[in-house]
Amino acid sequence: MTTTPQAVRRASPRTRPAAKKAAKAAKAPAPEPATDPSAVLLPQAEPVRLIEADGTPLPARADYPEPPVEALRELYRRMVVGRRFDTQATALTKQGRLAVYPSSRGQEACQVGGVLAVRDTDWVFPTYRESMALVSRGIDPVEVLTLLRGDWHCGYDPTAVHTAPQCTPLATQCVHAAGLAYGETHQGRDTVALVYIGDGATSEGDFHEGVNFAAVFKAPVVYFVQNNKYAISVPLSRQTAAPSLAYKGVGYGVPSEQVDGNDPVAVLAVLTRAVAHARAGHGPFLVEAHTYRMEPHTNADDATRYRDGAEVDTWRDRDPIARLEAYLRARGALDDAAVAAVAEEAEAYAADLRQRMNAQPEVHPLSLFDHVYAEPTPQLVEQREMVRAELAAAAEEDGH
Amino acid sequence: MTTTPQAVRRASPRTRPAAKKAAKAAKAPAPEPATDPSAVLLPQAEPVRLIEADGTPLPARADYPEPPVEALRELYRRMVVGRRFDTQATALTKQGRLAVYPSSRGQEACQVGGVLAVRDTDWVFPTYRESMALVSRGIDPVEVLTLLRGDWHCGYDPTAVHTAPQCTPLATQCVHAAGLAYGETHQGRDTVALVYIGDGATSEGDFHEGVNFAAVFKAPVVYFVQNNKYAISVPLSRQTAAPSLAYKGVGYGVPSEQVDGNDPVAVLAVLTRAVAHARAGHGPFLVEAHTYRMEPHTNADDATRYRDGAEVDTWRDRDPIARLEAYLRARGALDDAAVAAVAEEAEAYAADLRQRMNAQPEVHPLSLFDHVYAEPTPQLVEQREMVRAELAAAAEEDGH
Amino acid sequence: MGATTMAKALNAALADALADDDRVLVFGEDVGRLGGVFRITDGLQARFGDKRCFDTPLAEAGIVGFAVGLAMSGLRPVVEMQFDAFAYPAFEQIASHVAKLRNRTRGALSVPMVIRVPYAGGIGGVEHHCDSSEAYYAHTPGLKVVTPATVADAYSLLREAIADPDPVVFMEPKKLYFSSAEADLPARTEPFGRAVVRRPGRDATLVAYGPAVPVALEAAEAARDEGWDLEVVDVRTIVPFDDATVAASVRRTGRCVVISEAQGFAGVGAEIAARVQERCFHALHAPVLRVSGLDIPYPAPMLEHTHLPGVDRVLDTVARLQWDDQPDPRWVAA
Amino acid sequence: MGATTMAKALNAALADALADDDRVLVFGEDVGRLGGVFRITDGLQARFGDKRCFDTPLAEAGIVGFAVGLAMSGLRPVVEMQFDAFAYPAFEQIASHVAKLRNRTRGALSVPMVIRVPYAGGIGGVEHHCDSSEAYYAHTPGLKVVTPATVADAYSLLREAIADPDPVVFMEPKKLYFSSAEADLPARTEPFGRAVVRRPGRDATLVAYGPAVPVALEAAEAARDEGWDLEVVDVRTIVPFDDATVAASVRRTGRCVVISEAQGFAGVGAEIAARVQERCFHALHAPVLRVSGLDIPYPAPMLEHTHLPGVDRVLDTVARLQWDDQPDPRWVAA
Ligand SMILES: Cc1ncc(C[n+]2csc(CCOP(=O)(O)OP(=O)(O)O)c2C)c(N)n1
Ligand SMILES: Cc1ncc(C[n+]2csc(CCOP(=O)(O)OP(=O)(O)O)c2C)c(N)n1
Ligand SMILES: [Mg+2]
Ligand SMILES: [Mg+2]
């Protein structure tokens, strides 16, 4: 109960030996934990940023070494494909192929950065907004869009792709992740859970309970808050009076960091360290990314009711893809040919998706009874009989 | 979103001008706000303490000026009476006069300190453990014990005594207090709400939502966590991995403090400042008091199952009443005669309570239907008729 | 008199309540500048200011608990839960405080408030956006539970709910929000506790509420072709329930089908069926039958029409009302 | 064979499940060193270690959500909610995730778990400690809802619940915890989905579950004096419900009273009454009547006996089963 102020003040990167070790280990694919949990709780006062909005590199820093250039090229590739996917999905709503679509345009660095920071065997806990992250993770885009097309709820097999169903009841996934991660540890596996959550959802009680459970049980979870400034129409100022959402960590004894969410290099660097921290057994880590939702909440929303174009324009200038492209080009890690190749891949991806989404999905009314329980109850068997009879009668009528 | 580290580091008391101002204002009954909310969020690393466990005064400090001596004498008086009440209530469980009683023995400084820090027109939000606080506030002890005797739920009229019903569903009162306090402000009144809450209950989602609502709406609420180290049998280490519960404030942008909860002088000083902060319109304040529950959770609990006598003994040496008595005696503010007078008052209080609790309370079965709605529904009227008939039949049988 | 929608009627009721009574506050998620995702609070913040109509942090227990506190301070909160399933985080606040505070304090502390819940399906919403949650509230003593099925009722019942001394869970059938009807606002219709015969008939009574009322009316219309003259009763207020009107109708017709969109098991439809047979046993020529949603989690949009009780399912059920006075073969053995 | 209590039987079931299956974890508030406030987990931590039986932070949504995650990782969580009303904070997790995950994922992800809920009253508990909350769960598709009324069932049903592939809300009638009976543990009784005739009789059927079963048995005993031979059916598993056993009994006796301790409106008793009259209409000589708790918040200890359905109220109701084939005078007009 008695702690010196140092315990909650972040040591400066210059003087923290652990960070120096991390810098050395940076070339390894899964760096050693860079943090001493008892010495680091509060986030740095300014979001971590490694490249400027125009792609100019900032001075290298020991606490967040830059990810390897191959990782950044891969990040770029997936962000471009991801955005093209996102645009295509929005277009599909206009053609009536999707019931609704929440775009994550503008949040590409977060969507893809999160996925690249974890292993395939790690678990991702997405919200409805993470379609882009999920396709980036390699999940079939048609399966990702199943929920939004409306033929079933979750289109993929979560256990096969280590990805929870896209979560709509806000913040509830925070607790699931704590349980999953703890359960994996309990069974001797070194799985990490990565939770995507929005700024608004941090106001829910389940955020509090989830992060706290993870902290008390030292569960390897990274809580990744995409602060895109709005919860539908409600601005951040109505969610919190805190200096930033990252400051919530200290109340749980969880180290936290804030990052420029439109700086793909910084996002990947910060998440990589957070994941390493969790995997090393130091418990959860909280990251807040400052980003922006460029589109309305969903295609059904009218964002002009609550924010003006000037604000959106400001953020247009901070586009994460252009930023990374400029940086990689300047470093000589990307040229016109490579950019064109990625663009082409993205087009092909979108075309394939478009074509596959053109087919009307088959839905089987009687399947409604298949997965309520492992075996249907007598009550459900009765109701299935009723529906079967209705369908038979309808078919007969159609026949005449 | 961008805040300098100073914004979350507590300025040292020596260098903070606001605190100096507060020191000057200390003699006024309702001191001016002593804090600049944007400059102070984190608690001090050590709990505030103004007198030693043996009553020896510590050096005076500018940030928490000592309350006036009359206030301390009153504090002493109410603590003695409060403890006697508490002992009496425990005795009443043994005589079967109370169904159950959660003692707050050992927490007298918090129980009474909270009550003395607020005005009669302020609202107090107690839990089931605050019987002592409520009688200290002047509520009829029989009404306070109604819930635990079992003749009705809440025995007092909350609107008459500005005290919410003792709250059992943990942490739910945190949100009520935010609403009440905001509502009062909205109607132009300067009411403050004081919330009592236990260490365990801070893990509930409603704690999070309540403090956050209060912060966002700048509602004048003081959240007063009595960290008595246990939630029934569960020790603090299972509730949090944070340096202390007071560190939760920063995540809401709410200034916080920790205090030695067995130092009555410090508790009153810290709460006085917290209440002044809230009343001045600076929003909520979070105080964590480090104290100890000397008795089992309730009379029905067996604390030997989860903690050893040695631990309890340690805390016996930190008795808040003996501590304040020693301090006041040394200051010449209390002599044998005064101590004897208070003891006598306490005995009389207990005797009166004992006697009044001897009477079997009248309960009226048909009153069950009176307060479900303002007017009973037709369904309740029907059920009341049924019960009336049952009672009539039973009376008739008895008559024969 | 003019055509208007249920959404507009609700909006007008809120506006008129805000205008008439300073104590009324409207708040929740996105109810301010956006005017609510269904636009029920459209324009209220602009007209009454952001102290009277405002957005809150995203936390439903917080919203309802905050309303409890505001009510304690003498105000009249009207809160919006954005969708049915998103009121569940507030369940403890509703069941353990909102419903009980008057009772706990022997009437000393009442917490009049309205909890508006857009509910049920039929709008192609994805999972968690279409639950029929009325039974959870109806089963909780201390709450009134009201659900309009007409434009005029939407206005009138909401005004009454806001003026009521008790907490009211106000269930708004989403799929009816944009159905329009002639209505003369401010309309005042029958008070709480009164069911209404929406269509008289002699052969059987269809009892329905909320989103099921238009289905019942449509079924009654279609039943004419089969030679059945069906009466339709709109329950309107689930709690308090109008036994008198419902029982009188069933005693007249001798047959009854209860229609609710919710999953049937232990729902409001079960309560109505149980009450009707208790009270009308000797008048009944057939058991009281129920048509309800299936006992499954609300399905994905492309399958919801199979789940929802529609006209055909109602007519199939009416056909089973033992018109030949023979027991139902399905249930002879089971 | 020896006398034991329901509390001990539950404890033995947990111990045996922990011993038999490494995947089983028992956790909640105070279940570790203390052994639970009702001592149902007594000794488990000492025997199996604090990785298998442990205390959590005080947060019920957290406990249930944590269990969801553990189940996703392949474990078998068994969680304790300390009292009925203290499970409400977990309602969203239960209704929106626990109940739905199998369905949402077409069966790819199942979350087998047991949520133990000590429920109902009769023990002089203060407010919020005596709610009968079974209907909230029974109305939520995807959950199984089970409630033992005997010592042997307590053991057997809990073992089956832990082994079940689906989430089970296991409702433990507090007032029966310390009732003792001869029982040979490990006992295996009828499986889920089977109701049991606890007492045969010819004149009417009393259908009861959980805390109401001993009341029904006592009433049946007392009814002999009045010349009625009553059959008592113990429902055991509310979901899935055993229509066959219940309907067969009522068809034999021709009369039925449903007894539940919960407030009646839109509760499980309503469902049972509705089902019975649907299925047995032509065998019934009287309406299916219900005896339940009053539709009020659970009262303070000194008044709970007025609220609780007792033997007299059951007998009064049996008396109204129109033995003279005359309609109930109370409900001729209403
Ligand atoms: C418990 C709950 N309450 C309300 C909603 C309705 N809702 C869906 S998204 C949303 C806003 C979420 O904002 P944020 O967390 O910032 O995420 P973003 O949409 O910006 O990614 C709301 C209120 C919900 N899904 N769940
Ligand atoms: C929502 C809820 N969950 C569980 C309980 C049961 N319960 C009553 S008191 C208690 C412990 C509370 O501990 P703490 O908050 O530290 O307060 P203390 O009793 O120590 O004053 C528990 C678990 C409850 N009352 N409410
Ligand atoms: Mg957002
Ligand atoms: Mg405690």
pLDDT digits (tens, 9 = 90+) for D66-81: 999 999 999 999 999 9
Q: Do C139 and D142 touch (CB under 8 A)?
A: no
Q: Which residues of C touch B157 (CB under 8 A)?
A: 105, 108-109
Chain C neighbours (≥3 Cβ pairs under 8 A) are: A, B, D
Span B63-95, pLDDT tens digits: 999 999 999 999 999 999 999 999 999 999 999
Mean pLDDT of all residues in B333-339: 98
Residues within 6 Å of ligand 1 by CB: A 129, 168-170, 198-201, 228, 230-232, 293, 297; C 29, 58, 82, 86, 89
Shortest-distance ligand to the CA of residue B201: 2
Question: Residue with the nearest Cα to atom 4 of ligand 1?
Answer: C86
Span A352-373, pLDDT tens digits: 999 999 999 999 999 999 999 9
- Of B306, B307, B329, B384, which residue is the catalytic one? B306
pLDDT at D223: 97
Span C130-165, pLDDT tens digits: 999 999 999 999 999 999 999 999 999 999 999 999
**Percent of chain A beyond pLDDT 90?**
88
Question: Residue with the nearest Cα to atom 13 of ligand 1?
Answer: A231
D2-183: what CATH class? alpha beta
Atom of ligand 1 nearest to the CA of A168: 25
Distance from CA of D113 to the nearest CA of A (A): 13
pLDDT at D236: 98
pLDDT at D330: 72
Would you say domain D196-326 falls under CATH 3.40.50.920? yes
Task: Check whether residue B312 and residue B343 sit in a common domain.
Answer: yes
pLDDT at A400: 64
Q: Are D290 and D239 in contact (CB under 8 A)?
A: no
C321 → chain D, closest CA residue: D278
The C-alpha atoms of residue A145 and residue A98 are separated, in whole angstroms, by 8
Atom of ligand 1 nearest to the CA of A197: 15
pLDDT at A41: 87
The residues that bridge with D230 in the sheet, in sequence order, are D204
Task: Check whether residue A333 and residue A377 sit in a common domain.
Answer: no
Please give the C-alpha separations between residue C32 and each of A305, D105, D312, in angstroms, as whole numbers. 10, 36, 55
Is D129 catalytic? The answer is yes
Span A177-204, pLDDT tens digits: 999 999 999 999 999 999 999 999 999 9
Shortest-distance ligand to the CA of residue A297: 1
Dihedrals phi, psi of A121, to nearest 5 degrees? -85, -10
Span B340-368, pLDDT tens digits: 999 999 999 999 999 999 999 999 999 99
Chain D neighbours (≥3 Cβ pairs under 8 A) are: A, B, C
Span B315-332, pLDDT tens digits: 999 999 999 999 999 999
Q: Which residues of C touch D239 (CB under 8 A)?
A: 265
Could you count the other beta carbons within 10 Å of the beta carbon of residue B175? 35
Q: Where residue D325 falls among pLDDT bands split at 50, 70, 90?
A: confident
pLDDT at B313 over 70: yes
The single-letter code of the amino acid at C43 is G
Q: Are A255 and A35 in contact (CB under 8 A)?
A: yes
pLDDT at A20 over 60: no
Judge if the upstream peptide bond of residue D148 is cis by omega within 30 degrees of 0: no
Put simply, whether C248 touches D (Cβ < 8 Å) is no
Put simply, whether C300 touches A (Cβ < 8 Å) is yes
pLDDT at D328: 75
Task: Check whether residue B373 and residue B348 sit in a common domain.
Answer: no
- Parallel, antiparallel or unpaired: strands D256-263 and D204-208: parallel
Task: Check whether residue A342 and residue A385 sit in a common domain.
Answer: no
- Domain span at B376: 365-399
Q: What value does the CA radius of gyration of chain A take, rounded to a whole number of Å?
A: 22
pLDDT at D324: 81
Q: Do C61 and B175 touch (CB under 8 A)?
A: yes
The C-alpha atoms of residue D20 and residue D29 are separated, in whole angstroms, by 24
pLDDT at A38 over 80: no
Atom of ligand 1 nearest to the CA of C128: 25
Could you count the other beta carbons within 10 Å of the beta carbon of residue D178? 13
pLDDT at A16 over 70: no
Task: Check whether residue A263 and residue A375 sit in a common domain.
Answer: no
Question: In this predicted complex, what is the ipTM?
Answer: 0.96
pLDDT at A285: 98
Indicate the domain borders of chain D: 2-183, 196-326
Would D2-183 and D196-326 be classified into the same CATH topology?
yes
pLDDT at C247: 98
Number of folded domains in chain A?
Answer: 3
Task: Check whether residue A7 and residue A155 sit in a common domain.
Answer: no
Shortest-distance ligand to the CA of residue A107: 1
Q: How far is the CA of C79 from the centre of ligand 3 (A)?
A: 22
Q: A13-22 long-range CB contacts below 8 Å, 24 or more apart?
A: A13/A61, A13/A62, A13/A63, A14/A62, A16/A40, A16/A63, A19/A62, A19/A63, A20/A62, A22/A62, A22/A63, A22/A65, A22/A273, A22/A276
The C-alpha atoms of residue C161 and residue C153 are separated, in whole angstroms, by 11
Q: Which residues of D touch C274 (CB under 8 A)?
A: 269-271, 273-274, 277, 288, 290
Best of C86, C294, C312 to disrupt the A interface by mutation (most A CBs within 10 Å)? C294
Is A64 catalytic? The answer is no
Selection from A48, A39, A2 nearest residue A17 by Cα: A39
Residue count of chain C: 334
Q: Do A205 and B209 touch (CB under 8 A)?
A: yes
pLDDT at D327: 76
Calculate the CA dihedral of residues B9, B13, B14, B19 and round it to 10 degrees: 120
Q: Quick one: tokens of B359?
A: 């009477």
Put simply, whether D319 touches B (Cβ < 8 Å) is no
Task: Check whether residue B351 and residue B383 sit in a common domain.
Answer: no
Distance from CA of D90 to the nearest CA of A (A): 10
Selection from B33, B111, B46, B38 nearest residue B291 by Cα: B111
pLDDT at D331: 65
Is A329 catalytic? The answer is no
Please give the C-alpha separations between residue A361 and each of A89, A98, C300, in angstroms, as whole numbers. 16, 11, 12
Span D145-176, pLDDT tens digits: 999 999 999 999 999 999 999 999 999 999 99
For C78-95, give the secondary structure using H, E and C: EEECCCHHHHHHHHHHHH
pTM for the full predicted model: 0.95
Using alpha carbons only, give the angle A230, A231, A235 rounded to the nearest 5 degrees. 45
Span B1-56, pLDDT tens digits: 333 334 444 433 333 334 334 434 333 344 434 443 334 689 999 999 999 999 99
The residues that bridge with C24 in the sheet, in sequence order, are C76
Q: Where residue A24 falls among pLDDT bands split at 50, 70, 90?
A: very low
- Find the distance separating the first CA and the last CA of chain A, reported in whole Å: 80
B364 → chain D, closest CA residue: D303
- Of B176, B297, B318, B323, which residue is the catalytic one? B297
Candidate from D51, D104, D144 with C-beta closest to A153: D104
Q: How far is the CA of C110 from the centre of ligand 2 (A)?
A: 25
Interface of D with A in 84-103 (CB under 8 A): 89, 92-93, 96-97, 100-103
Span A137-167, pLDDT tens digits: 999 999 999 999 999 999 999 999 999 999 9
Residues within 6 Å of ligand 2 by CB: B 129, 168-170, 198-201, 228, 230-232, 293, 297; D 29, 58, 82, 86, 89
Task: Check whether residue B304 and residue B371 sit in a common domain.
Answer: no
